[in-house]
Amino acid sequence: MALQQWALPQLSELLPLDEGELKQIISYTDTLPDSEAAKHLGDLLGDSPSAFQFITSFIARRAELNAGMSKHVNDDQSAHFTPPPHPPPSHHPQTNGNIDSKQTPDIMLSNGVGADSITDPKNLRQDSSSMNGQPPAYAPPSGPPPAAASSRPPPAASSSKAPTHKHTNAVIRAAELRAIDEQEMQQMLQNLQFEYGIYNSDIEPEHETEYPCGCSIHRYQARKWRRYGVQDQWSKAVMYPGEKAYTDNAGPGMTLFSNNPYRFRVVSPYGYYAGNSRGLMWGPQRPVPGYHAQSIHQTIALNNSLNHEAQASIDGKEPKVNIWADDALETALANMSVSDNKRPVEKASDSKPHPVKASDEKRQSLVPPSGGATADKPKGSRLSSFRKSIGIKSSEERQVAKVSKAVNKGQDLRDDIQAEENGRWPDDQWRYLVANYQEKVGMTKKIADLRARSPTQYLHLLRAGFFEPIPVAWANQASNPLKFSIEAAAGWRGITPAWRGYEDTAEERLYWVLNHRENPGGVTSRMKPDFISEMDMARARMATAVEPPPLYFSADDTCHTQHTSAGYSKQVMPTPFRAYDRPETPTDDTMILLDVSGSMDFDPLRPVYDQYLITGYNKSTQPKNKDVAKAIIRRFSEAMANHDHQFGGYDLTTFANSANYIGTINHENLDQMWRKVRIGGGTRVMTGWQKVKDLHFQKHHESATHHPIYGWQAGPETPMLRLLLLLDGEATDMDEFELDLLGLSWAHVTIFLIGVEGCPHHHRHANELQRISDVNHHVSFVDAQGNTPERFVTHELLKRHLGYEITMQEFTQMEELPPYVE
């Protein structure tokens, strides 16, 4: 606290950030060792004299405060504590029995994970190998197994601890800085769009005036301008060689000399004239549907062009030598000599001699004669002797120097890769876990090829964590490196060379994996559709809706009991069921995860489009999504109980901005347990997914292990988790969730998507889930819109949840009310 009080006023003069952001920077920097703290502050503040003075004073002030605190503690303990005659034994070769609390940053670990995931070495499984310097096995927490499902309390966070591992690089440091206010800026933009009636997420409100006023639009723009320092550090961390950073800064002196490629090549959604639809020059502008459509078309075309150029550019800049060969220089020079001596061979019949160029004469001076006779050696020209005497290198010498420089750069690149790998994955078990993840995702061969042939791109993606599981602590962080928005026109970059066109870094990484994993079916690319293609496919899907099969009619469906409108809505029939995962076994663990975001309790609304611009919403005559979800959960749990005879029920967890374990629900207590459900907030599915994983592995911890960064790891005997997930729209971290599922073989997730009838956005999301289901057989998907035929939906969900075709007769038997249990 004393350090923060001292540093806050001085840092505020150097960084134009809010007090809360400055406090987080000070708190985080205080967790770093002196050398890393100085480097971190240097990256933030630059190399000005005032910045250097602050950094020096910060290190000295912290040392004084720590020394004073240590003296006070030692003086207090000396009166009550007698030191042991021998030093205590070391609990771990890396920590010597002590954990330095300052190795855990407040914002997130320097290798990209949060402090909550750090574990204690006393719960590590230790054996003779670990005591002999070998890395210990990561073990589950000690203690008795959890109580029976019917009386078990909500799962607590894992208390297991493991040695603190700290790793950092330029991308991690930039991500830590960006994460401070990323979520706040995204929320501020959403509030602004709602305030001014702009419903397309890609459009920012505009208010053009001669001088900025105090309106919320200009306050938001001022916050954006204050983040240009953060954007600059992020760009430096993720740019490839030869790229240039740019922003959307349109301030004085920037208009004509900006290198932003979108400024003059993409029209504004508001058109070419300042002013709004009411003709008021002083009011906020309104988007024009025609200009908005034109802007989308131009942006898509420019994204594709720039992505192609960027990928070709970095491919051309990859080393031309094998950086992993120990004799790279000798091999390169040998190849150069061979290529330089490729001259045409004179035929015996040639009567006309070939002309000899000056470069050939110089080349001959370096190549010994084949016959070994010195008389045939050509004499060097006087000009070449003169050039040599004044220090001008010959073409051969310049080429040798060029090759040597390329080999040296390749060796530096190899050293950087090895240092990053050793820093990220410090022991054998860590590397085994990462290798196992790459194999399950299907990227082992691609990553190996990337490392060998495209080391520059490999190092870039390695630093961003593309080749390892998602850190478990990211699930509960409001902003993490997979939640950063990508804005091509504003200059907020992604990680891969072809980053333009993605909404955020999670979507970019998901599609990078999908496009580079091994595909036994022969499909080599699954590019993300652009916005126009998504809308066209959504409308095409919506047009295929038909009347549901009449044999599923039920008078007690929610739409009938609430009398919202007559009859069922037309439904898009799910793809025919195909069993990919193994069928359900008695040991499998069924759970339910429910979206309880605010939209679950809204009156269903349908957007109104003018081309691609949303101009408003119309009310839809259908039940609220929460009522449909409750009815499906009731039917599903009753059918499952008749199937597996688990009449005690199934664990129910809800999520919005955070997750909440409700308890075990069954056909008797569902109404009572439903009173615990609280609706409201955003839609962050990763918080609920993490809670479900914790619950599953606390039940089956004997067969699993726990990693300090990547969380629970299933063993060969761990039962499969079969999860029913109910959503009413796209979660903000849905791509992150889908990415996490790609690396798991112990979970099968069946998703039920509830939608508004005639809503293109619902069908866009449905198409996205269908694409994920097609490539990841651990994910199944069913959707419904409008007045839902609940029996039909339940039957389709059960097929996918249980993993085999369920006949109508068997389904009817499963629908019978389960027997009463004392």
pLDDT value for 127: 36
Residues 656 and 478: their CA atoms lie apart, in Å, by: 12
Q: Helical H runs in 317-426?
A: 328-340, 358-366, 382-389, 395-424
Task: Report how many domains make up the chain.
Answer: 1
Is position 727 within any domain? Answer: yes
What are phi and psi for residue 663, nearest 5 degrees?
A: 135, -165
The CATH number given to whatever domain includes residue 735 is 3.40.50
Query: What does residue 614 show for φ and ψ, rounded to 5 degrees?
Result: -80, 120
Judge whether 760 and 531 are in contact, CB under 8 Å: no
Residues with Cβ within 8 Å of 208's Cβ and at least 6 positions away in sequence, in order, are 274, 285
Report pLDDT for 53: 79
Name the more confident of 527 and 414.
414
Q: Output the CA–CA distances (angstroms, integers) from residue 411 to 51, 322, 408, 620, in the order listed.
A: 34, 9, 5, 64
Higher pLDDT, 372 or 7: 7
Confidence of residue 113 (pLDDT cuts 50, 70, 90): very low
**Residue 4: its pLDDT value, please?**
82
Average pLDDT over residues 38-60: 78
**Buried/exposed 500-522: b ≥16 CB within 10 Å, e otherwise:** bbbbbbbbbbbbbbbbbbeeeee
751 is in which domain, residue-wise? 558-566+585-661+717-798
pTM, 2 dp:
0.74
Calculate the CA dihedral of residues 94, 96, 101, 103 and round it to 10 degrees. Answer: -30
Residue 355 has pLDDT above 80, yes or no: no
Instruction: Compute the average pLDDT of residues 465-482.
Output: 92
Give residue 525's pLDDT. Answer: 55
Average pLDDT over residues 312-341: 74
Are 694 and 159 contacting, i.e. CB atoms less than 8 angstroms apart? no
Tell me how far the alpha carbon of residue 764 is from its chain's centroid. 21
Task: State the sign of the Cα–Cα–Cα–Cα dihedral 162, 165, 171, 172.
Answer: positive
**Cα dihedral sign, 735-490-229-2:** negative
Residue 730 lies in a domain: yes
pLDDT surpassing 80 at residue 59: yes
Q: Kindly state the tokens that stand for 689.
A: 């997914």
User: Structure tokens of 428?
Assistant: 């054998």
Q: Is the pLDDT of residue 477 over 80?
A: yes
Query: Residue 76 pLDDT more than 50?
Result: no
Model confidence pLDDT, tens digit, residues 291-303: 999 999 999 999 9
State the Cα angle at 325 between 323 and 327, rounded to 5°. Answer: 115
Residue 110's pLDDT band, with cuts at 50, 70 and 90, is very low
Judged against a pLDDT cut of 50, whether residue 89 lies above it is answered with: no
CA 574 – CA 10 distance, rounded (Å): 62
Q: How confident is the model at residue 149 (pLDDT cuts 50, 70, 90)?
A: very low
Q: Do the domain assignments include residue 611?
A: yes
Distance spanning both ends of the chain, measured CA to CA: 57
Task: Evaluate if residue 152 carries a pLDDT over 60.
Answer: no
Across residues 659-675, what is the average pLDDT?
Answer: 93
CB 594 within 8 A of CB 653: yes
Inform me whether the pLDDT recorded for 162 exceeds 60. no
50: pLDDT strictly greater than 80: no
Sheet holding 779-785, edge to edge: 659-665, 650-655, 589-595, 721-727, 747-755, 779-785
> Which range (241-245, 387-391, 681-685) has the least confidence?
387-391
* Structural domain contains residue 618: yes
pLDDT score, position 2: 81
Split at pLDDT 50, 70, 90, the class of 74 is: very low
% of the chain surpassing 90 pLDDT: 53
The closest alpha carbon to 497, from 315, 731, 715, belongs to 315
Q: How far apart are the C-alpha atoms of 384 and 407, rounded to whole Å?
A: 28
Q: Decide: 670 and 634 in contact? Cβ < 8 Å.
A: yes
Confidence of residue 280 (pLDDT cuts 50, 70, 90): very low
**Alpha carbon separation from 209 to 215, 237, 657 (Å, rounded):** 11, 35, 37
Q: Residue 622: its pLDDT value, please?
A: 94
3-state helix, strand, coil in the chain (%, to 5): 45, 10, 45
Residue 64 has pLDDT above 60, yes or no: yes
Q: Is pLDDT of 136 > 50?
A: no
Q: What is the mean pLDDT of the chain?
A: 80
Cα(668)–Cα(666) distance, rounded to whole angstroms?
5
pLDDT band at 476 (very low <50, low <70, confident <90, very high): confident
Q: What are the pLDDT digits (tens) for 650-664? A: 999 999 999 999 999
For the chain, give the percent of residues with pLDDT over 70. Answer: 74
Confidence band for 67, pLDDT divided at 50, 70 and 90: confident
Q: How do residues 427-468 score in pLDDT, each as one tens digit?
A: 999 999 999 999 999 999 999 999 999 999 999 999 999 999
Given a cut of 90, is residue 694 above it in pLDDT? yes
Instruction: Give domain status of residue 571, yes or no.
Output: no
What digits encode the pLDDT tens for the residues 729-743? 889 999 999 999 998
What pLDDT band is residue 100 in, cutting at 50, 70 and 90? very low
Lowest model confidence (mean pLDDT) among 100-104, 542-546, 808-812: 100-104
At 760-804, the pLDDT tens digits run 999 999 999 998 888 888 899 999 999 999 999 999 999 999 999
The per-residue pLDDT for 607 is 94
Q: How distant is the alpha carbon of residue 227 from its chain centre?
A: 21
Considering only residues 130 and 266, tell me which one the structure prediction assigns the higher pLDDT: 266
Residue with more model confidence, 383 or 147: 383
Distance separating alpha carbons of residues 55 and 33, to the nearest angstrom: 13
DSSP states of 444-476: HHHHHHHHHH-HHHHHHHHHTTTTSPPPGGGGG
Q: Is residue 166 part of a domain?
A: no
Q: Which one-letter amino acid corresponds to residue 471?
A: P
Buried b (16+ CB within 10 A) or exposed e, 714-742: beeebbbbbbbbbbbbbbbbbbbbbbbbb
